[in-house]
Amino acid sequence: MKVIVGVAGGIAAYKACHLVRNFKEAGDEVRVIPTPSALNFIGAATFEALSGNSVSTSVFEGVDEVQHVRLGQEADAVVIAPATADLLARLAAGRADDLLSATVLVATCPVIVAPAMHTEMWLNPATQANVHTLRSRGVTVLEPASGRLTGVDSGPGRLLEPEQIADLARMVIAGQKLPRDWEGKSVLITAGGTQENLDPVRYLGNRSSGRQGFALAEVAAQRGARVCVVAGATEELPTPAGAQVVRVTSTEEMAQAVAEHAPQADALIMAAAVADFRPASRAGAKMKKGQDEAALNSIKLVENPDILRTAVLARERGELKAGMAIAGFAAETGDERHSALEYGLAKLERKGCDLLMCNEVGVGKVFGERHNRGWLLRAGEGEPEVTEVPDGSKYEIAGAYLSQVLRALDQRSLHG
């Protein structure tokens, strides 16, 4: 794939180096086109070394090749990170006064723009109008993160992390758009695995990385939703842009957090790998070899609360929004009696939720991986609807799943 990485003149330009490397390591051909001011932050030699291609900023360089036309025509995607307020304004106006803006004007491929600027500039009506204009023309303008900016300032306007930009860009390039169809709606998402303490050192857990839950949160936020994530144990993943993240450890803590935040949500998506059992008792000090052999050799377990089923019952009792959509994930393995899909269908009926994504898990399958696959199970008046979900990135799975949750939400609103 031929990717043009555009870089505007902002302090966040250094992150573009990591973005270029991300695409290169995936096997893509990368051409970096900085604006002239971007070279005040990162030298051309750095971009040339990382991309393996020469760098120019002006339409008057390589005139014999008509660069501004050829580059735009041949690109499979244009990804601009960071995009300053000035560049957004020039793109919205259709300007072509440097090589980057001219290339964008020629490009018919997906154009993905990741803004970065101070909060006041991002929220300024002029910038927001330019963003609206670009989106109306089919340009994907990502929502920036909220966090530390230059100096002591903090707030929305921080550039997304390179990994987030690359994953969202690949999703758009693969054909999944980021429409603003979740605007005005709130979604509560659980992510990661829960850990049940045996003593202050040891715990019972699972291999969940939290990637699928965080991908759901990121895509939902980019589609305009108000997002709250209840996160258990996760890898060091970037915080989804604009999302509120509530950190928990155990299943009981997750259940409490869901109960607290669910009444405000239009949809609940249980993507966390929740522990079904916890130790009946927990040692107050580290169990020692030789001294606690009985405790180490025999651990009594008790069932954890069923968070998904509890939410469904709460909706039926009128404690949650009547039109609330409730969806979940089922991590299953097959055995000599039933397949993973059959166990997933049984779980859909038992839980009573609207949707269930069934994954067949195991070593090297789904947990900790960047891709996912399985079956989408939808409850109905008769037999449940089963749709096979082919292998795709967790961001692609998130986009497709959120569309199905939105469909369930619309149907509940229609009949509610």
- 120 pLDDT higher than 70: yes
pLDDT digits (tens, 9 = 90+) for 197-250: 888 888 888 878 899 999 999 999 999 999 999 999 887 788 898 899 999 999
Was 354 annotated as part of a binding site? no
Tell me if 255 is assigned to some domain: yes
Per-residue pLDDT band for 50 (boundaries 50, 70, 90) equals: very high
Which DSSP string corresponds to 321-389?
-TT-EEEEEEEE---SS--HHHHHHHHHHHH--SEEEEEE-BTTBSTT-SEEEEEEEE--SSSPEEEEE
- Verify that 210 and 150 share a domain, yes or no: no
pLDDT of residue 205: 83
Residue 117, classed as helix, strand or coil, is coil
Domain boundary among 138, 153, 174: 174
- Verify that 132 and 191 share a domain, yes or no: no
Domain assignment of residue 46, given as a range: 2-174
Was 2 annotated as part of a binding site? no
For range 297-307, the mean pLDDT? 86
- Verify that 88 and 205 share a domain, yes or no: no
- Return all residues near 309 (Cβ < 8 A) that are at least 6 apart: 350, 351, 352
- Verify that 155 and 228 share a domain, yes or no: no
Was 123 annotated as part of a binding site? no
% of the chain beyond a pLDDT of 90: 66
- Verify that 109 and 193 share a domain, yes or no: no
Tell me if 181 is assigned to some domain: no
- Verify that 312 and 399 share a domain, yes or no: yes
Was 307 annotated as part of a binding site? yes
Q: Known catalytic residues?
A: 206
Residue 83, classed as helix, strand or coil, is strand
- Verify that 126 and 227 share a domain, yes or no: no
Q: Where are the alpha helices (DSSP H) in 150-306?
A: 162-173, 211-222, 251-261, 293-297
- List the one residue out of 194, 243, 174, 158 whose CA is nearest residue 394: 174
Tell me if 210 is assigned to some domain: yes
- Verify that 135 and 195 share a domain, yes or no: no
pLDDT digits (tens, 9 = 90+) for 341-385: 888 898 999 999 999 999 886 545 555 577 788 899 998 777 888
Q: What is the DSSP letter of 233?
A: B
Number of structural domains found in the chain: 2
As a whole number of angstroms, the distance between CA 50 and CA 13 comes to 14
Residue 112, classed as helix, strand or coil, is strand
Gyration radius of the chain over CA positions? 24
pLDDT of residue 96: 93
Was 276 annotated as part of a binding site? yes
Tokens standing for residue 177: 């758009």
- Verify that 163 and 191 share a domain, yes or no: no
Domain boundary among 148, 174, 200: 174
- Verify that 132 and 230 share a domain, yes or no: no
- Verify that 150 and 195 share a domain, yes or no: no
* CATH classification of the domain holding 195: 3.40.50.10300
pLDDT of residue 383: 83
31-35, 157-161, 328-332: least confidently modelled range: 328-332
Which contiguous run of DSSP H or E holds residue 311? helix 307-316
pLDDT of residue 21: 97
Burial class (CB in 10 A: 0-12, 13-18, 19+), 194: buried
Tell me if 180 is assigned to some domain: no
pLDDT of residue 173: 95
Tokens standing for residue 201: 């050192």
For range 318-326, the mean pLDDT? 92
Give the count of alpha carbons within 13 A of 95, CB side only. 13
Was 347 annotated as part of a binding site? yes
- Verify that 82 and 9 share a domain, yes or no: yes
pLDDT of residue 65: 64
Domain boundary among 153, 174, 195: 174
